[in-house]
């Protein structure tokens, strides 16, 4: 084997290694991009879910305040209740497509009933209709 052939074979082997490492790097970056998008979507869903809980609590507080307040204070509390209710609906609307996943695009009118999975478990165990509120 001549030196020219040895150099040629080493060059081809080196290029094959570079190609393999490049392909592995490209695959790794594309996987990280997908995972990053999933994490960002999940973070947004969690944020909206937590904010919905906060606005739900605020609507309860506002409801109590509406019944106890009088005059202009009552009107202010009604305005706050309307504002918090709008924010609550907005957060639920933003969270719902993420919670439903890809089914939301194919069935926009579909809603998951509150307590649905728990009620389904009760039916599986054969304890009749689950009448508790969830």
Q: Where along the chain do its domains lie?
A: 8-97
Residue found under tokens 């307040």: 69
pLDDT class for 129, splitting at 50, 70, 90? very low
* pLDDT (0 to 100) of residue 16: 97
DSSP assigned state of 132: S
Tokens of residue 130, six digits:
């689950």
Q: Where are the alpha helices (DSSP H) in 69-125?
A: 72-100, 103-106, 116-125
pTM above 0.85, yes or no: no
For residue range 102-118, list pLDDT tens digits in order: 554 444 555 544 444 44
For residue range 5-37, list pLDDT tens digits in order: 999 999 999 999 999 999 999 999 988 988 898
Tokens of residue 78, six digits:
């009604």
């Amino acid at each position: 084997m001549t030196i020219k052939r040895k150099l040629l074979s080493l060059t081809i082997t080196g290029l094959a290694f570079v190609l393999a490492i490049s392909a592995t790097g490209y695959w790794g970056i594309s996987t990280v991009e997908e995972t990053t998008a999933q994490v960002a979507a999940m973070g947004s869903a969690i944020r909206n879910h937590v904010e919905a809980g906060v606005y739900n609590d605020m609507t309860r507080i506002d409801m109590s305040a509406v019944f106890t307040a009088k005059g202009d204070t009552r009107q202010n509390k009604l305005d706050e209740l309307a504002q918090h209710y709008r924010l609550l609906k907005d957060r639920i609307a933003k969270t719902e497509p993420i919670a439903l996943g890809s089914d939301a695009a194919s069935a926009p009118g579909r809603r998951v009933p509150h307590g649905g999975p728990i009620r389904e478990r009760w039916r599986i165990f054969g304890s009749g209709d689950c009448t508790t509120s969830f």
